[in-house]
């Protein structure tokens, strides 16, 4: 109402615009938190990670291509299922892909041979447990070593003010930990970022083949 009353060139209009921008940021934070809370009510199901990844790419692959990003997905056969809340894991995947797109577009505003997102899936053993590992690799602008340990802190963001509430990786880490998994990062500033997600294989699927 203030903006409509004051016109386009008053000091109060500028203040009103800042209030609107801050309000939109608050709304985004609340939506993220509510989404996390609602998804916690979903019952875990046995599912192939490939199915979740396919659904995630179905929502974002057009935008990836539009950005001129080369997408490479390496999914070998024989990967067992995990017991997860599918929508939560999809939320994690979408957040990581979004971050990779942002980093690549910052480094390469136009097409480039290194403008690449590579997704790999495998199985690993650690501490006597079996995990399905999904790795997201991009050759974007990377993360500096002095903030790498803080990127999952709530409300921490290395994006310009207003471009992200700083909750994506914090919520993603909480989701993966809630599933008994691990979320790790390997990055060199100006070179690449690798995000590694390990989700425990459901014991009832040991030896199962994903044909």
> pLDDT tens for residues 108-138?
999 999 999 999 999 999 888 899 999 999 9
The helix/strand/coil state of 71 is strand
Say whether 131 sits in a helix, a strand or coil: strand
Our measurement of the distance from residue 1's CA atom to the centroid of its chain's CA atoms, rounded to an integer in Å, reads 37
Would strands 70-74 and 182-188 be described as parallel, antiparallel, or unpaired?
unpaired
Please, is 47 exposed, middle or buried when counting C-beta atoms within 10 Å of its C-beta (0-12, 13-18, 19+)? middle
The closest alpha carbon to 46, from 181, 179, 209, 202, belongs to: 202
- Tell me: do 24 and 66 sit in the same domain: no
Model pLDDT, residue 34: 65
As a whole-number percent, the residues of the chain with pLDDT over 90 amount to 53
> Can you give the pLDDT at residue 37?
58
Considering the domain architecture, whether residues 77 and 166 belong to the same structural domain is answered as yes
Give burial (CB, 10 Å; 0-12/13-18/19+) of 197. Answer: buried
Give residues with Cβ within 8 angstroms of 12, minimum separation 6: 2, 6
Same domain assignment for residues 53 and 149:
yes
pLDDT of residue 154: 80
- Asked if residue 195 and residue 180 are part of one domain, the reply reads yes
Q: How confident is the model at residue 211 (pLDDT cuts 50, 70, 90)?
A: very low
Domain that holds residue 13: 1-41
How many Cβ atoms are within 10 Å of 50's Cβ, its own excluded?
17
If pLDDT is split at 50, 70 and 90, which confidence band does 6 have? low
* Domain match, 178 and 79 both: yes
Q: What is the CA radius of gyration of the chain?
A: 20
C-alpha span between 92 and 138 (Å, rounded): 16
Count of structural domains, the chain: 2
pLDDT for 86-107, tens place per residue?
A: 989 999 999 999 999 999 999 9
For tokens 């979903």, the residue is: 42
211 belongs to a structural domain:
no
Between residues 211 and 71, the one the model is more confident about: 71
Question: 60 and 18 in one domain?
Answer: no
Reply yes or no on whether the pLDDT at 29 is more than 80.
no
Residues 6+ apart with CB under 8 A from 208: 80, 81
Domain annotation covers residue 210: no
pTM exceeding 0.85: no
């Amino acid at each position: 109402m203030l903006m409509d009353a004051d016109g386009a060139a008053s000091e109060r209009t500028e203040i009103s615009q800042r209030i609107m921008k801050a309000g939109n940021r608050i709304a985004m934070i609340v939506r993220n938190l509510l989404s996390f809370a609602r998804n916690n009510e979903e019952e875990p199901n046995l599912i192939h990670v490939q199915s979740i990844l396919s659904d995630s790419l179905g929502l974002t692959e057009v935008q990836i291509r539009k950005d001129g990003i080369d997408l490479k997905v390496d999914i070998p056969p024989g990967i067992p299922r995990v017991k997860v809340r599918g929508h939560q894991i999809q939320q994690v995947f979408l957040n990581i892909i979004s971050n990779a797109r942002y980093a690549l577009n910052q480094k390469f505003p136009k097409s480039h041979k290194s403008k690449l997102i590579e997704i790999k899936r495998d199985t690993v053993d650690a501490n006597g447990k079996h995990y399905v590992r999904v790795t997201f690799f991009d050759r974007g602008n990377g993360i500096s070593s002095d903030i790498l340990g803080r990127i999952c802190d709530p409300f921490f963001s290395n994006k310009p003010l207003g471009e992200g509430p700083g909750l994506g990786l914090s919520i993603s880490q909480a989701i993966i930990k809630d599933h008994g998994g691990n979320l790790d990062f390997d990055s060199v500033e100006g070179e690449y970022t690798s995000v590694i997600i390990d989700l425990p294989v459901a014991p009832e699927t040991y030896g199962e083949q994903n044909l």
